[in-house]
Amino acid sequence: MHIVVTGANGFIGSHLTKALLERAERDPAAWPLQRLTAVDLSLNQLPDHSLLRRIEGSFADDAALQRALTPPADLVFHLASVPSGRSETDPALGMAVNVQGTLRLLDMLKAQGNAPTVVFASSIAVYGKPQAPLVTDDTPPLPTLSYGAHKVIGEILVNDHVRRGWIKGCSLRLPGIVTRPPEPNGAVSIFLSDLIRELSQGRPFTCPTSRDAHTWLMSIGCCVENLLHAARQTFGERRTFLIPPLHVHLGSLVQAIGEQFQIPTIDRLIAWQPDPWVEFNFGSYPPVQLPLAEAQGFQADRDLRSLVADSLASGY
């Protein structure tokens, strides 16, 4: 089996790559990995491994992509993208990578002729600020940022390539994944990871939302398990899923961090300074009800305490 991971050096990509190598060693019957090709602009977060091949460059570059898909891929995790903030400030780059690059990848996979499986990392950005009081499996996308629009286009492209029998696979709408490393990555939502990391270390933090903001979160460990699960599933006509997130009240998240790390005065460490744009786009998410995603085997973190513990196990 030849697996390709685009965006392999990113937060999710690096954890997924390490998990794939571990699964191949632990359970080679389930994961008969012969080669794992990691593609990203840099690859300094990945371990040395005999099965790992590194290709430094953009997946949207034809030469790099051609190298990545030689020999033909059997399974592709397409995680690479220009994130939300960068796509807003550089719309041409966002379109070139997120839309045109994704189409080029899918067409090259089509040309292989072996109908490989693709797991496309979409985003809750497709919803914009959800207008409904409850988000379900059937809530339509209504993006308010270019990044969300790019992800909707990617979902449509994946779905059409699957419909025609050119590839197999699905699109997964990922919620906020925590806890990301402290360096900026162009995603506005990174403040959610900063909140968990800083408060758990007993350091003060200024949050750009109100205490009563609600968002959708998932730990990196839970995210990786859902991605691996998707790669082994057979899908019917529904091929796009919102992975069940925890619907998190930020005030309750702060209290859970305080309880887990025995910081009784944690309220003194947090300053709530709502930014209306951030609150609108990242702090106004409604509850979810996702029986179809759950029936397909996708899962949320058990509770806030497990989310905090698992997210910080990433080492950041």
pLDDT tens string 6-53: 999 999 999 999 999 999 999 999 999 999 999 999 999 999 999 999
List Cβ<8 Å contacts ≥24 apart for 197-202. Answer: 197/312, 197/316, 198/269, 199/254, 199/257, 199/258, 199/261, 199/263, 199/266, 199/269, 199/270, 200/257, 200/260, 200/261, 200/308, 200/312, 202/261, 202/263, 202/269
Quote the DSSP letter at residue 48: P
Contacts of 273 (CB under 8 A, 6+ apart): 206, 207, 208
User: Burial, 103: exposed, middle or buried (Cβ in 10 Å; 0-12, 13-18, 19+)?
Assistant: middle
The full DSSP string for 245-312 is: -EEEEHHHHHHHHHHHTT-TTGGGTEEE---HHHHHHHSB---EE-HHHHHTT----SSHHHHHHHHH
Selecting among 127, 147, 285, 316, the annotated active-site residue is 147
Q: CA dihedral in degrees (44, 39, 29, 220; nearest 10)?
A: 60
Average pLDDT value over all residues in the chain: 94
d(CA 52, CA 56) in angstroms, rounded, equals 13
Is-contact 146 135, C-beta < 8 A? no
What is the CA angle 90-110-139, rounded to 5?
60
pLDDT of residue 186: 58
d(CA 256, CA 279) in angstroms, rounded, equals 21
Residue 134 has pLDDT above 80, yes or no: yes
Structure tokens at 170: 């699905």
pLDDT of residue 312: 87
Is-contact 93 86, C-beta < 8 A? yes
Pick the CATH number of 178-216+246-288+301-312 from 3.30.590.10, 3.40.50.970, 3.90.25.10, 3.40.470.10: 3.90.25.10
Tens-place pLDDT, residues 224-253: 999 999 999 999 999 999 999 999 999 999
What letter represents residue 114's amino acid? N
d(CA 47, CA 87) in angstroms, rounded, equals 30
Q: How does residue 311 score in pLDDT terms, banded at 50, 70 and 90? A: confident
Name the class of domain 2-175+218-242: alpha beta
User: What are the structural domain ranges in the chain?
Assistant: 2-175+218-242, 178-216+246-288+301-312
- Is 147 marked active-site? yes
Find tokens 């944690």 and name the residue.
266
Q: How does residue 292 score in pLDDT terms, banded at 50, 70 and 90? A: very high
